Amino acid sequence: MSGSEIVKRGRGSEEEAETKRRKRRRLNVENAAEEEAEANKRRHLKVVFLGHSEAGKSTIVGQILLLTGQVDDQEMQKYKEEAKENSREGCYLAYTMDTDEYERRRGTVQVGKAMFDTSSCTFTILDVPGLCTGNDYRSISADVAVLVISARRDEFETGFQEGGEMEMVGQTREHVQIARGLGVSSLIVVLNKMDDPTVMWSKDRYDEIKQEVLPFLESFRCGTINAFLPISGLLGINMDKGMDEDVCPWWRGPTLFEALDSVEFVRLANPNGPFRMPIFSHYKDEETVVMGNVESGCIREGDFLSLMPNQVPVEVIALYCDGDIVDQSGPRDSLIVYLRGIEDEDIVSGYVLSSLVQPIRAPNTFLAHLEFLKQPQNTIFYAGYKAVLHTHAMVEECEITEMIPPGVGVMYATDDDDDAICRIQVDHGPICMEAFSHRLGRFVLRCGRKTIAVGYVV
């Protein structure tokens, strides 16, 4: 889209804009019941696909887009040809999400995004890479996680085993722990590749994996487990339609789409709260353009907002939601916002577009509750411990400066239930976070290539 498409407005005064906002808030309150009823007719949920790098997440997403008509046969033929050129014939469905050439050769590295409809819901897909990087933590904005586990012999064992400090194994465990720590309350487990020659829809293999995975999920309090179901992402079996008895005579449970439709909608964002939108990406068109998810409040064309933590006042001159230009938007929407009053080079991913009257806090130091992930026996945490903090779209180096209560000194974190209250200091400037916020108060700590803790600001 180009800046020429945008209908620009005069700057106006901040006082006039604030008067308009107050009037709109009153209308929002008056229409809240009507809006709630309309939202319940057609739920809109965000779903994140988690799991080991070879579990088949992107293939499942590609099959979903094919089954729901988001990708046509001509496009799919093109993907097949491109996959063959890269010697990835069995992964052509993943090309619907792996849009970068490096991703297509290697597998998903960035977080993909697409939408599809089931009988009662619209879903926005967050397709997370299997390599545990900072991108994984965008699962913080998901309503439901689909944990993809490969049933193929050895692949499950590799994805679920515990690894050493520098090993890229055990990603299934790590993804589950991260999703739970970041507040994803509903979980669907899919056992993929059940059509593989090493499995052939074996109930024994299904039971074997379920008996190992379920106790782990239950011990880590992973919220509601909506389903544990077998599928073939490559063939599209047990996804939108039930299986024939000659394929899998023992399965009588739901399809993937039925499991997704069963997820309970939980409204966590406040449409009448102060506006908050973490910026995931930005670029320069005729104006400065930012992209992100609305986590609180509403935004309208003509609004004056503050870009935090630098406290730069900006004017909203255009909004795009799902590719369409809109006059206003609210919580849970993924937006492209055209701004006046700031240059692209003055924006960093992780900055937050915020209410001018009630801006988000941006501390250098904060108090946090940490829940440590299971660590090797010789791992200790102490005042002075250095790590890397990941929250919404921000990544910053940090240090645990104090263990609470004072005098605790050090602690050994060898079990998943170990926790502590700590004071954390960010090394390079303030960071936008809010206490007790479901979306903006949660974070992950990593050291090297391993996730060590999940936490929230208190």
In the chain, % of residues over pLDDT 90: 37
Query: Is pLDDT larger for residue 373 or for residue 408?
Result: 373
Do the domain assignments include residue 360? no
Query: Residue 423: which CATH number?
Result: 2.40.30.10
Same domain for 311 and 189?
Answer: no
Q: How far is CA 44 from CA 38, 47, 276, 291, 334, in A?
A: 11, 10, 19, 19, 12
Same domain for 420 and 378?
Answer: yes
Average pLDDT over residues 110-135: 65
Structural domain containing residue 372: 365-457
Highest mean pLDDT among 331-335, 362-366, 375-379: 362-366
Would residue 266 be called left, alpha or beta, if left means φ above 0 and alpha means ψ between -120 and 50 degrees?
A: beta
Same domain for 209 and 298?
Answer: no
Amino acid at 220: F
Do the domain assignments include residue 126? yes
Closest residue by Cα to residue 347 from 320, 388, 309: 309
Do the domain assignments include residue 63? yes
CA 111/CA 334 separation, integer angstroms: 14
Of 325, 355, 385, at which residue does a domain stop?
355
The residues that bridge with 303 in the sheet, in sequence order, are none
Residues 398, 404, 406, CA angle at the centre, nearest 5°? 110
Same domain for 58 and 198?
Answer: yes
Do the domain assignments include residue 150? yes
Do the domain assignments include residue 383? yes
Q: What is the pLDDT of residue 362?
A: 94
Same domain for 32 and 47?
Answer: no
Domain count across the chain: 3
CA 450/CA 456 separation, integer angstroms: 19
- Name the average pLDDT for the chain: 79
Of 261, 287, 305, at which residue does a domain stop?
261
Do the domain assignments include residue 221? yes
Q: What is the pLDDT of residue 256?
A: 97
220, 182 Cβ separation under 8 angstroms: no
Same domain for 301 and 160?
Answer: no
Query: Is pLDDT larger for residue 104 or for residue 415?
Result: 415
Average pLDDT over residues 134-159: 76
Q: Within 13 Å, how many C-alpha atoms sit on residue 181's CB side?
A: 31
Please determine, for residue 281, whether its predicted confidence score (pLDDT) is greater than 70. Answer: yes
Query: Is pLDDT larger for residue 362 or for residue 448?
Result: 362
Do the domain assignments include residue 389? yes
| CB crowding 225-253: b at 16 or more within 10 Å, else e | ebbbbbbbbbebbbbbebbeeeebeebee
DSSP strand pairing (419-426 vs 394-404): antiparallel
Q: What is the pLDDT of residue 364?
A: 93
Of 261, 281, 296, at which residue does a domain stop?
261
